[in-house]
Structure 1
Amino acid sequence: MNSTRHPAIHRRRFLAASAALGATAVAGSAAAQAVDPYTGQPLQGAPAAGAAPDAGVVQYDTQDNRRNQSSFRMHDWRPYFDNLSNGAILVDLTSRALSFWSEDESVFRLYPTSIPVSDDLTRRGRTEIIKKVEGPTWSPTPDMKKRNPEWPDFVPAGPDNPLGTHALWLSWQYYRIHGTHDTRKIGRKSSNGCIGLYNEHIQQLFALTKIGTQVLVI
């Protein structure tokens, strides 16, 4: 990367890519070739940006970048957790779905999610929520920056932020459960490691969870 370039130029190029992606979806002429500026992955067969989320329907296709419906199912918490202390979140990468149970079992939620684009970016196992942020800012990880040196070093909260309106920090470094302003990502392999939800759903989950809520990714 040329060190003489001004960071503002990088940010403008980055935001221009996001705007171009949305314009392509509206025009409809090249939607099948749209590329996510945050992951570099194609968004083939994607619904229009801003489409209303439907928690009960997640389209399915055998291609990795299409949506998954056939395994979107409810789980019982008992095979996965010893108890529901502080509540529990189960992220099923096969179903591309997130289940939440409250500590007293009075609340259960099931949300469609986005998942990492590849196995090398995927982390499985047990973690927990260590931080909750409304209106999160975003910075690329060192590895992201190496792969995409033109990306900005910092994106403030707002409609251009890839973390959406709310984010839950996990004990694993750089891993989050967060919202997204780009509804085309949900139900797809479309993240650099995080788990994404519709903004409407992460807002609900944000209110239901606490610091210490258990998380298991399978």
Structure 2
Amino acid sequence: MLRPIGSMLNSRYAAALGALAIGAVAFSASAAATPLPLFPFILTPPVQSAPPPVQAAPDENESGAIELPARLKRQVVSYPTREAPGTVIIDTPNTYLYYVLGGGHAIRYGIGVGRDGFTWSGVQAVTKKAEWPDWTPPPEMIARQPYLPRHMAGGPGNPLGARAMYLGGTVYRIHGTNAPETIGTHVSSGCIRLTNQDVSDLYSRVNVGTRVIVLPMNRQAANAGDKRS
């Protein structure tokens, strides 16, 4: 029996709609199972590398700023002496400071000493210790060098450096320096200078009351030669 043409068209139209519906359901199920990628126009923030660590400014007082000759570097050496352990001996002509350890040994430090006409000798005791000391030039120094400041607070720019040990009632000190290149020379007005690293080491060993022997320029320190170092 023949079906009317209109009925056939309606049947095909309904079938097509059914197929589309089934496809849509399948697509929806697939989409639910697989997450969609991000849209390409959504930008993620650029990856930023961590900034380099901030480094402390070089300390202009440290002896690391220059390379001292081997003989002026702090070291334990052979040094027979009758002086008691803990005694400090200043070998002015050789620009050495010895801290007596006993048992025939001492720690030897390179130092700067008084320039021509400003060396001295004798026995004193440490009467005061100070960290990053202030500097007040004595009147006789100002008379010779009127351009000097009357007072300077302690700090990296202070010529006394990181530590100072005051000797008796004199104007002399064992102290650090902001000019480590002067170690091994005759340059001061009578004070004994070490690098800031060395004076800090010595400071940790020396106490108030420590005996300090300063040898004169015209006398070699006994057993202080490099041959026994």
Smaller-chain TM-score bracket: 0.5 to 0.7
What's the counterpart of residue 125 of structure 1? 122
CA distance in 2, matches of 1:156, 1:105: 41
CA distance in 2, matches of 1:171, 1:112: 22
Tell whether 2:81 aligns with 1:77.
Answer: yes
Contact 2:89-2:212 within 8 A present in 1 as well:
yes
CA distance in 2, matches of 1:134, 1:108: 24
The code of the aligned residue for 2:87 comes to A
Residue 134 to residue 189, structure 1, CA distance change in 2 (3 Å): same
CA distance in 1, matches of 2:169, 2:69: 27
Tell whether 2:130 aligns with 1:153.
Answer: no
What's the counterpart of residue 110 of structure 2? 112
Q: How far 1:51 sits from its partner (Å)?
A: 2.7
Q: How far 1:101 sits from its partner (Å)?
A: 1.7
CA distance in 2, matches of 1:55, 1:107: 21
CA distance in 1, matches of 2:124, 2:116: 20
CA distance in 1, matches of 2:205, 2:69: 17
What secondary structure sits across from 1:98 in the alignment?
Answer: strand
Residue 106 to residue 76, structure 1, CA distance change in 2 (3 Å): closer
What secondary structure sits across from 1:57 in the alignment?
Answer: helix
The code of the aligned residue for 2:71 comes to V
Q: How far 1:58 sits from its partner (Å)?
A: 4.2
CA distance in 2, matches of 1:107, 1:205: 15
Relative to the length of structure 1, the TM-score reads 0.63
CA distance in 1, matches of 2:68, 2:142: 34
Tell whether 2:196 aligns with 1:194.
Answer: no
**What are the within-5 Å matches in structure 2 for residues 58-69 of structure 1?**
58=72
User: Which ranges in structure 1 are unaligned for 5 or more consecutive residues?
Assistant: 1-48, 60-72
What's the counterpart of residue 206 of structure 1? 203
User: Which ranges in structure 2 are unaligned for 5 or more consecutive residues?
Assistant: 1-62, 216-229
CA distance in 2, matches of 1:209, 1:98: 13
The code of the aligned residue for 1:51 comes to A
Q: How far 1:107 sits from its partner (Å)?
A: 7.6
Q: CA RMSD of the aligned region, Å?
A: 2.4
**What are the within-5 Å matches in structure 2 for residues 9-88 of structure 1?**
51-54=65-68, 56-58=70-72, 75-78=79-82, 81=83, 83-84=84-85, 87-88=86-87
Q: How far 1:90 sits from its partner (Å)?
A: 0.6
CA distance in 2, matches of 1:136, 1:54: 24
Tell whether 2:81 aligns with 1:94.
Answer: no
What secondary structure sits across from 1:180 in the alignment?
Answer: coil
What's the counterpart of residue 170 of structure 1? 167
Deviations 1:125-176 (A, max 9, x none): 1111111101101011111111122211001111211100000001041110
CA distance in 2, matches of 1:172, 1:53: 35
CA distance in 2, matches of 1:55, 1:105: 27
Contact 1:114-1:195 within 8 A present in 2 as well:
yes
CA distance in 2, matches of 1:111, 1:55: 12
The code of the aligned residue for 1:90 comes to I
Number of residue pairs matched? 150
